[in-house]
Amino acid sequence: MGQSKSPGAGVVGYHAVGILKKQSETGTHGLWTAVLGRLLQDKLALLGLGIILVMVTAAVFAPYFAPNDPFKVDLMQRLLPPQAQYPLGTDHLGRCLLSRLFYGSRSSLTTAALALTAIMLISIPFGTLAGYCGGQVDNILMRIVDVLLAFPGLVLALVIAGILGPGLLNVMLAVAAVRWVGYARVIRVTVLSVKEKEFVSAARACGTSGLGIIIRHILPNVLSPVIILATLDIGRLIIAISSLSFLGLGAQPPVPEWGAMLNDGRSYMQVAPQLMIYPGLAIMTVALAFNLLGDGLRDALDPRGTVRL
Protein backbone atom coordinates (compact mmCIF):
# COMPACT_ATOMS: atom_id res chain seq x y z
CA MET A 1 0.00 0.00 0.00
CA GLY A 2 2.96 2.09 0.54
CA GLN A 3 4.92 4.60 -1.37
CA SER A 4 5.29 2.27 -4.26
CA LYS A 5 1.63 2.64 -5.08
CA SER A 6 -0.25 5.42 -3.32
CA PRO A 7 -1.26 7.71 -6.15
CA GLY A 8 -1.98 10.49 -3.67
CA ALA A 9 1.52 11.06 -2.43
CA GLY A 10 2.87 12.71 -5.55
CA VAL A 11 -0.27 14.74 -6.00
CA VAL A 12 -0.14 16.06 -2.48
CA GLY A 13 3.52 16.84 -2.85
CA TYR A 14 2.79 18.85 -5.93
CA HIS A 15 0.01 20.61 -4.12
CA ALA A 16 2.16 21.43 -1.14
CA VAL A 17 4.81 22.90 -3.39
CA GLY A 18 2.15 24.99 -5.11
CA ILE A 19 1.02 26.43 -1.82
CA LEU A 20 4.57 27.14 -0.79
CA LYS A 21 5.22 28.99 -3.97
CA LYS A 22 2.21 31.15 -3.30
CA GLN A 23 3.33 31.75 0.24
CA SER A 24 6.79 32.80 -0.72
CA GLU A 25 5.36 35.16 -3.31
CA THR A 26 2.93 36.89 -1.01
CA GLY A 27 4.31 36.20 2.44
CA THR A 28 2.34 34.16 4.96
CA HIS A 29 0.37 37.15 6.16
CA GLY A 30 -0.59 38.30 2.68
CA LEU A 31 -1.60 34.78 1.74
CA TRP A 32 -4.16 34.54 4.51
CA THR A 33 -5.64 37.93 3.69
CA ALA A 34 -5.99 36.85 0.08
CA VAL A 35 -7.53 33.54 1.13
CA LEU A 36 -10.03 35.29 3.35
CA GLY A 37 -10.93 37.62 0.49
CA ARG A 38 -11.57 34.70 -1.84
CA LEU A 39 -13.50 32.81 0.82
CA LEU A 40 -15.81 35.76 1.40
CA GLN A 41 -16.83 35.60 -2.26
CA ASP A 42 -17.63 31.91 -2.12
CA LYS A 43 -21.29 31.76 -1.13
CA LEU A 44 -21.35 28.02 -0.47
CA ALA A 45 -18.31 28.22 1.79
CA LEU A 46 -19.94 31.08 3.69
CA LEU A 47 -23.09 29.01 4.05
CA GLY A 48 -20.97 26.20 5.49
CA LEU A 49 -19.26 28.61 7.86
CA GLY A 50 -22.64 30.01 8.91
CA ILE A 51 -24.03 26.56 9.68
CA ILE A 52 -20.92 25.69 11.68
CA LEU A 53 -21.21 28.89 13.73
CA VAL A 54 -24.88 28.19 14.42
CA MET A 55 -24.07 24.62 15.47
CA VAL A 56 -21.23 25.71 17.72
CA THR A 57 -23.46 28.34 19.31
CA ALA A 58 -26.16 25.73 19.82
CA ALA A 59 -23.64 23.42 21.47
CA VAL A 60 -22.15 26.07 23.76
CA PHE A 61 -25.51 27.53 24.83
CA ALA A 62 -27.41 24.23 24.80
CA PRO A 63 -28.87 24.82 28.29
CA TYR A 64 -30.43 28.09 27.08
CA PHE A 65 -31.82 26.77 23.81
CA ALA A 66 -33.06 23.39 24.98
CA PRO A 67 -36.78 23.63 25.78
CA ASN A 68 -36.65 20.76 28.29
CA ASP A 69 -34.28 18.77 30.46
CA PRO A 70 -32.60 16.29 28.05
CA PHE A 71 -32.15 13.70 30.79
CA LYS A 72 -35.60 13.79 32.34
CA VAL A 73 -37.26 10.41 31.87
CA ASP A 74 -41.06 10.38 31.81
CA LEU A 75 -42.49 7.06 30.73
CA MET A 76 -46.00 8.54 30.57
CA GLN A 77 -44.83 10.87 27.81
CA ARG A 78 -42.91 8.38 25.67
CA LEU A 79 -42.81 8.41 21.84
CA LEU A 80 -44.97 11.52 21.57
CA PRO A 81 -45.32 13.21 18.19
CA PRO A 82 -44.09 16.81 17.81
CA GLN A 83 -46.18 19.26 19.87
CA ALA A 84 -45.93 22.60 21.66
CA GLN A 85 -44.03 21.36 24.70
CA TYR A 86 -41.85 18.92 22.75
CA PRO A 87 -41.20 20.57 19.35
CA LEU A 88 -39.76 17.35 17.86
CA GLY A 89 -41.56 14.86 20.09
CA THR A 90 -40.13 12.54 22.72
CA ASP A 91 -38.02 9.39 22.64
CA HIS A 92 -38.65 5.91 24.02
CA LEU A 93 -38.04 7.12 27.57
CA GLY A 94 -40.14 10.25 27.21
CA ARG A 95 -37.15 12.58 26.89
CA CYS A 96 -37.40 15.70 24.73
CA LEU A 97 -35.81 14.95 21.34
CA LEU A 98 -34.97 18.57 20.50
CA SER A 99 -33.24 19.13 23.83
CA ARG A 100 -31.26 15.95 23.34
CA LEU A 101 -30.24 17.09 19.88
CA PHE A 102 -28.93 20.37 21.34
CA TYR A 103 -26.94 18.56 24.01
CA GLY A 104 -25.91 15.92 21.48
CA SER A 105 -24.16 18.57 19.39
CA ARG A 106 -21.85 19.05 22.38
CA SER A 107 -20.74 15.41 22.40
CA SER A 108 -20.38 15.18 18.65
CA LEU A 109 -18.47 18.43 18.14
CA THR A 110 -16.25 18.04 21.20
CA THR A 111 -15.30 14.48 20.30
CA ALA A 112 -14.45 15.50 16.75
CA ALA A 113 -12.39 18.44 17.99
CA LEU A 114 -10.54 16.23 20.46
CA ALA A 115 -9.90 13.63 17.78
CA LEU A 116 -8.51 16.32 15.53
CA THR A 117 -6.26 17.58 18.32
CA ALA A 118 -4.98 14.06 18.93
CA ILE A 119 -4.36 13.62 15.19
CA MET A 120 -2.32 16.84 15.11
CA LEU A 121 -0.34 15.87 18.19
CA ILE A 122 0.75 12.62 16.58
CA SER A 123 1.01 13.55 12.92
CA ILE A 124 2.86 16.87 13.12
CA PRO A 125 5.92 15.61 15.06
CA PHE A 126 5.85 12.33 13.12
CA GLY A 127 5.59 13.88 9.66
CA THR A 128 8.08 16.63 10.47
CA LEU A 129 10.61 14.20 11.85
CA ALA A 130 10.32 11.95 8.81
CA GLY A 131 10.56 14.80 6.34
CA TYR A 132 13.29 16.75 8.11
CA CYS A 133 15.59 13.90 9.09
CA GLY A 134 15.19 11.93 5.87
CA GLY A 135 17.36 8.86 5.32
CA GLN A 136 16.88 5.87 7.58
CA VAL A 137 14.62 7.71 10.03
CA ASP A 138 12.26 8.63 7.20
CA ASN A 139 12.43 5.11 5.88
CA ILE A 140 11.48 3.49 9.16
CA LEU A 141 8.73 5.98 9.96
CA MET A 142 7.19 5.61 6.53
CA ARG A 143 7.19 1.82 6.79
CA ILE A 144 5.13 2.23 9.98
CA VAL A 145 2.72 4.37 7.98
CA ASP A 146 2.55 1.75 5.23
CA VAL A 147 1.70 -0.94 7.74
CA LEU A 148 -1.10 1.12 9.25
CA LEU A 149 -2.46 1.86 5.78
CA ALA A 150 -2.61 -1.85 5.08
CA PHE A 151 -5.68 -2.02 7.32
CA PRO A 152 -8.98 -0.75 5.97
CA GLY A 153 -9.42 2.40 8.08
CA LEU A 154 -12.84 1.78 9.52
CA VAL A 155 -11.99 -1.85 10.24
CA LEU A 156 -9.01 -0.84 12.35
CA ALA A 157 -10.97 1.89 14.13
CA LEU A 158 -13.75 -0.58 14.84
CA VAL A 159 -11.33 -3.13 16.21
CA ILE A 160 -9.44 -0.63 18.38
CA ALA A 161 -12.67 0.86 19.75
CA GLY A 162 -14.01 -2.63 20.32
CA ILE A 163 -10.95 -3.79 22.22
CA LEU A 164 -10.70 -0.62 24.32
CA GLY A 165 -14.35 -1.05 25.23
CA PRO A 166 -17.38 1.22 24.82
CA GLY A 167 -17.00 4.94 25.54
CA LEU A 168 -16.84 8.20 23.61
CA LEU A 169 -13.21 8.77 24.59
CA ASN A 170 -12.20 5.34 23.28
CA VAL A 171 -13.99 5.96 20.01
CA MET A 172 -12.17 9.26 19.71
CA LEU A 173 -8.84 7.53 20.32
CA ALA A 174 -9.65 4.78 17.83
CA VAL A 175 -10.55 7.22 15.07
CA ALA A 176 -7.49 9.37 15.76
CA ALA A 177 -5.23 6.29 15.81
CA VAL A 178 -6.35 5.47 12.29
CA ARG A 179 -6.63 8.86 10.66
CA TRP A 180 -3.39 10.57 11.71
CA VAL A 181 -1.52 8.58 9.08
CA GLY A 182 -2.87 10.55 6.12
CA TYR A 183 -1.93 13.84 7.79
CA ALA A 184 1.55 12.61 8.59
CA ARG A 185 2.15 11.80 4.92
CA VAL A 186 1.03 15.21 3.74
CA ILE A 187 3.11 16.94 6.41
CA ARG A 188 6.17 14.89 5.49
CA VAL A 189 5.92 15.78 1.81
CA THR A 190 5.49 19.45 2.66
CA VAL A 191 8.47 19.42 4.99
CA LEU A 192 10.54 17.67 2.33
CA SER A 193 9.98 20.54 -0.06
CA VAL A 194 10.29 23.33 2.51
CA LYS A 195 13.64 22.17 3.79
CA GLU A 196 15.16 22.64 0.33
CA LYS A 197 14.16 26.32 0.33
CA GLU A 198 16.79 29.03 0.43
CA PHE A 199 15.52 30.56 3.66
CA VAL A 200 16.18 27.26 5.39
CA SER A 201 19.74 27.12 4.07
CA ALA A 202 20.16 30.74 5.12
CA ALA A 203 18.94 29.99 8.63
CA ARG A 204 21.27 27.03 8.81
CA ALA A 205 24.19 29.17 7.64
CA CYS A 206 23.35 31.61 10.43
CA GLY A 207 23.84 28.77 12.88
CA THR A 208 20.19 28.18 13.78
CA SER A 209 19.77 24.80 15.42
CA GLY A 210 17.74 22.02 13.80
CA LEU A 211 14.93 22.48 16.28
CA GLY A 212 14.96 26.24 15.71
CA ILE A 213 14.66 25.75 11.96
CA ILE A 214 11.78 23.36 12.39
CA ILE A 215 9.86 25.61 14.75
CA ARG A 216 10.53 28.97 13.12
CA HIS A 217 10.76 28.13 9.43
CA ILE A 218 9.24 24.77 8.68
CA LEU A 219 6.16 24.45 10.88
CA PRO A 220 4.59 27.76 9.79
CA ASN A 221 4.72 26.48 6.21
CA VAL A 222 3.09 23.20 7.11
CA LEU A 223 0.11 25.08 8.46
CA SER A 224 -1.92 25.73 5.33
CA PRO A 225 -2.05 22.20 3.89
CA VAL A 226 -2.90 20.95 7.38
CA ILE A 227 -5.74 23.44 7.71
CA ILE A 228 -7.24 22.39 4.38
CA LEU A 229 -6.94 18.74 5.28
CA ALA A 230 -8.46 19.23 8.70
CA THR A 231 -11.43 21.22 7.43
CA LEU A 232 -12.14 18.70 4.68
CA ASP A 233 -11.67 15.82 7.06
CA ILE A 234 -13.68 16.95 10.06
CA GLY A 235 -16.97 16.01 8.39
CA ARG A 236 -15.61 12.52 7.86
CA LEU A 237 -14.35 12.43 11.45
CA ILE A 238 -17.81 13.31 12.74
CA ILE A 239 -19.37 10.63 10.56
CA ALA A 240 -16.79 8.02 11.61
CA ILE A 241 -17.27 8.80 15.30
CA SER A 242 -21.04 8.74 15.04
CA SER A 243 -20.89 5.47 13.05
CA LEU A 244 -19.03 3.78 15.89
CA SER A 245 -21.39 5.40 18.37
CA PHE A 246 -24.30 4.12 16.33
CA LEU A 247 -22.93 0.60 16.67
CA GLY A 248 -23.04 1.12 20.43
CA LEU A 249 -19.31 1.66 20.97
CA GLY A 250 -19.44 5.39 21.69
CA ALA A 251 -21.54 7.46 24.05
CA GLN A 252 -23.20 5.35 26.71
CA PRO A 253 -26.68 6.07 28.04
CA PRO A 254 -27.93 8.48 29.15
CA VAL A 255 -25.40 10.79 27.42
CA PRO A 256 -27.03 12.28 24.32
CA GLU A 257 -24.95 11.80 21.17
CA TRP A 258 -26.34 11.84 17.64
CA GLY A 259 -25.07 8.43 16.53
CA ALA A 260 -26.23 6.77 19.73
CA MET A 261 -29.61 8.52 19.50
CA LEU A 262 -30.07 7.10 16.00
CA ASN A 263 -29.33 3.67 17.35
CA ASP A 264 -31.90 4.11 20.12
CA GLY A 265 -34.45 5.47 17.68
CA ARG A 266 -34.24 2.81 15.01
CA SER A 267 -36.30 0.28 16.96
CA TYR A 268 -39.20 2.74 16.91
CA MET A 269 -39.02 3.42 13.20
CA GLN A 270 -42.63 2.51 12.59
CA VAL A 271 -44.22 4.50 15.41
CA ALA A 272 -41.84 7.44 15.73
CA PRO A 273 -39.72 7.90 12.58
CA GLN A 274 -38.67 11.36 13.79
CA LEU A 275 -36.39 9.69 16.34
CA MET A 276 -34.09 8.49 13.59
CA ILE A 277 -34.71 11.22 11.05
CA TYR A 278 -33.53 14.23 13.06
CA PRO A 279 -30.28 12.94 14.59
CA GLY A 280 -29.20 11.74 11.14
CA LEU A 281 -30.15 15.06 9.63
CA ALA A 282 -28.05 16.79 12.29
CA ILE A 283 -24.99 14.67 11.51
CA MET A 284 -25.42 15.24 7.80
CA THR A 285 -25.85 19.00 8.20
CA VAL A 286 -22.64 19.39 10.20
CA ALA A 287 -20.69 17.16 7.83
CA LEU A 288 -22.09 19.06 4.85
CA ALA A 289 -21.20 22.41 6.41
CA PHE A 290 -17.60 21.37 6.99
CA ASN A 291 -17.37 19.93 3.48
CA LEU A 292 -18.65 23.19 1.98
CA LEU A 293 -16.19 25.23 4.00
CA GLY A 294 -13.37 22.80 3.23
CA ASP A 295 -14.11 22.89 -0.49
CA GLY A 296 -14.11 26.68 -0.39
CA LEU A 297 -10.89 26.80 1.58
CA ARG A 298 -9.25 24.42 -0.84
CA ASP A 299 -10.40 26.41 -3.84
CA ALA A 300 -9.03 29.54 -2.22
CA LEU A 301 -5.69 28.04 -1.23
CA ASP A 302 -5.28 25.48 -3.95
CA PRO A 303 -7.29 26.20 -7.08
CA ARG A 304 -6.22 22.96 -8.75
CA GLY A 305 -8.05 21.04 -6.05
CA THR A 306 -5.42 18.40 -5.64
CA VAL A 307 -5.24 17.96 -1.89
CA ARG A 308 -6.68 14.76 -0.54
CA LEU A 309 -5.95 12.27 2.19
Partner 1 sequence: MGRYLLKRFLYLIPIMLGVSIITFALINLAPGDPAELILQADGMELTREAVEALREELGLNDPFYVRYGRWLWNVCRLDLGESFRTGRPVTEEIFYRLPATIELTFAALVFMVIVALPAGILSALYRHTLIDHLNRLWALLGASLPGFWLGLMLIYLFAVRLGLLPVMGRGSLHHLVLPAVTLGFGMAAVYTRILRASMLEALGQEYIRVARAKGLKEKWVIGRHALKNALLPAVTLLGMSFGHLLGGAAIVETIFAWPGVGKFAVDSIFNRDYPVIQGYALFMAVVFVLANLMVDLSYVSLDPRIRLERGK
Q: For 258, phi and psi rounded to 5 degrees?
A: -60, -45
State the DSSP code for 96: B
C-beta of 39 vs 277, nearer to partner 1: 277
Nearer to partner 1, 32 or 151 (CB): 151
Cβ proximity to partner 1, 213 vs 292, nearer residue? 292
Mind giving me the DSSP string for 239-299?
Answer: HHHHHHHHTTSSSPTTS--HHHHHHHHGGGTTT-THHHHHHHHHHHHHHHHHHHHHHHHHH
**Least spacing, CB of residue 3 vs partner 1, in Å:** 10
> Looking at beta carbons only, is 102 or 278 nearer to partner 1?
278
Which one-letter amino acid corresponds to residue 197?
A: K
Q: How far is the C-alpha of 178 from the C-alpha of 133, rounded, in Å?
A: 24
Quote the least distance from Cβ 154 to partner 1, whole Å: 3
Output the DSSP codes for 142-160: HHHHHHHHTS-HHHHHHHH
CB of 110 to partner 1, least distance (A): 18
Closest by CA position to 246, among listed 225, 276, 270, 218 = 276
Provide, rounded to whole angstroms, the least separation between the CB of residue 268 and partner 1: 11
Instruction: Report how far apart, in Å, the C-alpha atoms of 146 and of each of 69, 121, 246, 304 are.
Output: 48, 19, 29, 27
Q: Tell me how far, at minimum, the Cβ of 114 lies from partner 1, in Å.
A: 19
- Minimum CB separation of residue 163 from partner 1 in Å reads 5
How far apart (Å, rounded) are the C-alpha atoms in residues 191 and 214? 9
Q: Which is nearer to partner 1, 59 or 286 (CB)?
A: 286
Length of the chain: 309
| CA neighbours closer than 13 Å in the CB half-sphere of residue 281 | 10
Q: What 3-state class would DSSP assign to 98?
A: helix
For the bound state, the minimum distance from the C-beta of residue 270 to partner 1, rounded and expressed in Å, comes to 6
Q: Site residues (CB under 8 A) for partner 1?
A: 1-2, 4-5, 7, 143-144, 146-148, 150-165, 235-236, 239, 242-243, 246-249, 259, 262, 266, 269-270, 273, 276-277, 280, 283-284, 287-288, 291-292, 295
Query: Is 54 or 147 the residue whose CB approaches partner 1 more closely?
Result: 147
CB-nearer residue toward partner 1: 23 or 302: 302
